Structure 1
């Protein structure tokens, strides 16, 4: 097939769950098909990341939308958020709208014939050449999350003007997601729950199926397991993602004091790219917290941790970080939202807790009883060997797309 794949950013550096999922799927699809990747770059880091596109595509084309400096970006964000009040689009979508990307896609569709167009995430939808759709190939939306669910959870608990703003964004995202998802010829979800929401709550009749989450077991088992005399609790995830920042802050403020009261020597390590100032400040708070920022390889941290926590209260789709921790044979304590969409059992593969007290109790249970943690990790490793490999997941993705093409 000749596939036109569209995303709002390069995949590298491979530090975000959605980018990792796309990379592994495209890496396998690229072995059998001609993939043209069209994306956007915003700064020098993304321009450098775009140079890696040969790893997952036959050719790539980029619309460059320069990003402001960090200080100016904060003011532009506030100005954009205020300007968005008068718009019908959710701000999370409008900030990615690009006439450069639109014109680039119009040119590519005129120049080449493709068998399939893939929108990776919902965000490119505002810049797609919808006027050309009837003359083009089948269009597929690859949805890594239910975006409106994320905004619904972000709006919960807000009060005053903040509540009104988040509720407005929630409603706009729901309208946008339902409307634009229905315009695609097919929608692919990443979990059964997401697929159910698309079908039953959004009344979409074009859901093609579910692309399961994979994991590279050999990769995470390739380094030896290490143990420190200091009990180590770890969080891993991109720290430029609101849900991760919210989860880490909640854990530090409500759970970590309970853990330290019983185990003062314990260390909490936050591993993830671009931590904001509020997260960086935790490293100098005197509470035994390390903030690494971007690391070249997450495996040494994973294989040296006693327990991985996934204290997410906001999110959607599936969390690759849980499967990666399971593959590295590290016990996991997660909220129910953190483990959403994954086929894991509480008490056998992971420990699930939603309150600060329950989360602290389960973290301490693993730290105090290494034999229990090892048994939990062993069951998790056995379970994570069952899910599809990335090659099998790519085949499921391909089969769904081929079926759509044949029907079209």
Structure 2
């Protein structure tokens, strides 16, 4: 098959959550099919770093869209029905190049990762159109609105409403939709659309994030992995540092809280002033900063979909303590594969127990690793994607909308939503 794969961030190198899923899909599809990737980069440097993606597909169509342009476009969408987050990802040049490529060479499948990128293909017909929502972003903006002060709370609430309407229109105009977790699938069902939705769990590379590492430390260590310019991570880490970590230090005075992630915001950098807290900033390889005796945390109060940081810690044999929201997207059993707490004292107690009990750490690490092998390996997840592609050639039951009628609906939706 010939596949057009459209994604919001140039997914190479796959070094952050928004890049890991599309990269693994592209690499997998490129082994069996002819894949053309269309995407965006923030800078020329990011564009150059992503050039190696060509090793995994036939062609890459990418444009640089600077952050200043993105923000201006998002602001312009405020008084319109178009979501700001969709306008943030709009590039007329990329749209033009996608159309030229599409009409020059027939594509059997159009695959879109991230709902904001659907605007590039709404009027392009194909035998199969798949919308990979990943997470349902309107729900994320709704959570943002509850955690920010006025006027941002009002702006985020409005964005959530606009985006939810847009997501529903997009879902109706594709043949199949996919998400990362059961919670996101439950959210998708509230759209009440006829388009089937399939769960494709995120995976983790057990050979790369191996438990067989020789990284040690002389101090009890708590680790957080993640980009530190992302608001949910900033909020979660500050919550842990200010409300949870003091309880741990009272019981284990020499404990170290290691924050491992690039682009730390000012609030994160300021945490260095708290005794016992280390902020690394960007590191070439996070594995070297996670001691085998460590405890990993995911103290997120705002979270959607699957937290790759949890999967990676589990794969490295590091026990995890997470909030309910952070753990929701992981197919794991609380109390067996990871520990879950939402109250500061309880969260601290779980961390303290794991730091003090080597046997408990080993048991939970092995249990978590076993669970990953059952539920979060990329080959198993991507076999689900293969099944969706295989279904494209099967006859459509008379009770379901035909692929042709879906194509017509997508063109109508494109006309209704186009602001460009």
Q: Which residue of 2 aligns with 1:197?
A: 187
Unmatched 5+ residue regions in structure 1?
none
Instruction: Output the CA distance in 1 between the equivalents of 2:235 and 2:301.
Output: 8
Please report how far the alpha carbon of residue 355 of structure 1 lies from its aligned counterpart in structure 2 after TM superposition.
1.5
Q: Which residue of 2 aligns with 1:262?
A: 251
Indicate how the Cα distance of structure 1 residues 167 and 66 shifts in structure 2: closer, same or farther if over 3 A, else same.
Answer: closer
Q: Which residue of 2 aligns with 1:132?
A: 124
Q: Which residue of 2 aligns with 1:216?
A: 205
Please report how far the alpha carbon of residue 192 of structure 1 lies from its aligned counterpart in structure 2 after TM superposition.
2.2
**Correspondences of 1:134-153 after superposition (within 5 Å):** 136-153=126-143
- Provide runs of 4+ in structure 1 moved above 6 Å: none
Q: Which residue of 2 aligns with 1:47?
A: 47
Instruction: Output the CA distance in 1 between the equivalents of 2:386 and 2:101.
Output: 22
Q: Which residue of 1 aligns with 2:275?
A: 287
Please report how far the alpha carbon of residue 268 of structure 1 lies from its aligned counterpart in structure 2 after TM superposition.
0.9
Please report how far the alpha carbon of residue 157 of structure 1 lies from its aligned counterpart in structure 2 after TM superposition.
4.3
Unmatched 5+ residue regions in structure 2?
397-402, 404-420
Output the TM-score relative to the length of structure 2.
Answer: 0.88
Q: Which residue of 1 aligns with 2:406?
A: none
Asked if 1:58 is matched to 2:62, the reply is no
Residues 318 and 342, structure 1, Cα contact 8 Å, conserved in 2: yes
**Correspondences of 1:390-401 after superposition (within 5 Å):** 390-401=378-389
Please report how far the alpha carbon of residue 405 of structure 1 lies from its aligned counterpart in structure 2 after TM superposition.
4.5
Residues 223 and 299, structure 1, Cα contact 8 Å, conserved in 2: no
Q: Which residue of 2 aligns with 1:331?
A: 319
- Partner-residue secondary structure (3-state), 1:156: helix
Task: From 169, 177, 181, give the equivalent of 2:159.
Answer: 169
Please report how far the alpha carbon of residue 117 of structure 1 lies from its aligned counterpart in structure 2 after TM superposition.
0.6
Instruction: Output the CA distance in 2 between the equivalents of 1:62 and 1:82.
Output: 24
Q: Which moved more, 1:86-95 or 1:2-11?
A: 86-95
Please report how far the alpha carbon of residue 222 of structure 1 lies from its aligned counterpart in structure 2 after TM superposition.
6.4
**Correspondences of 1:22-101 after superposition (within 5 Å):** 22-68=22-68, 77=71, 82-101=75-94
Q: Which residue of 1 aligns with 2:330?
A: 342
Residues 353 and 359, structure 1, Cα contact 8 Å, conserved in 2: yes
Kindly provide the CA deviation profile for residues 196-250 of structure 1, in whole angstroms up to 9, marking residues without a partner as x: 2212x11122124111222222222264243322111000012232211111111
Q: Which residue of 2 aligns with 1:102?
A: 95
RMSD: 2.0
Q: Which residue of 1 aligns with 2:116?
A: 123
Please report how far the alpha carbon of residue 81 of structure 1 lies from its aligned counterpart in structure 2 after TM superposition.
5.7
Asked if 1:382 is matched to 2:370, the reply is yes
Kindly provide the CA deviation profile for residues 299-352 of structure 1, in whole angstroms up to 9, marking residues without a partner as x: 222344510000111121111221211111111000111111222111111000
Output the TM-score relative to the length of structure 1.
Answer: 0.91
Residues 41 and 63, structure 1, Cα contact 8 Å, conserved in 2: yes
Give the total of aligned pairs: 396
Residues 140 and 184, structure 1, Cα contact 8 Å, conserved in 2: yes
